[in-house]
Amino acid sequence: MRMTVIEADLFTDAGNNAVVRLPHRAFPGILIQGDTFANLRVQLAEAASLLSESPASSDALGQLQSVINDFDEILHRYEQALASRGLRRPY
């Protein structure tokens, strides 16, 4: 696949995730670094495995809560970036 170079609007500083608006899109998206995304996926898979072994697993619930907390932080950053530019949420 050929790489295409484009200009995009960076709403937040770069880090493990960034809020970026691509051309021709009304709302920005969230760019998550591949290693961060892979780690979140591993945590979810581990929680699913633990739950399949024991539906009441406190370890699984802890893993899930950790991922939820990470997603909450990313979502909060997204919402702050929108608000700082006077944009409404797409949801």
Instruction: Give tens-digit pLDDT for 13-51.
Output: 878 999 999 999 999 999 999 999 999 999 999 999 999
Can you give the residue ranges of every domain in the chain? 9-84
Cβ atoms of 21 and 29 within 8 Å: the answer is yes
Position 14 scores a pLDDT of 76
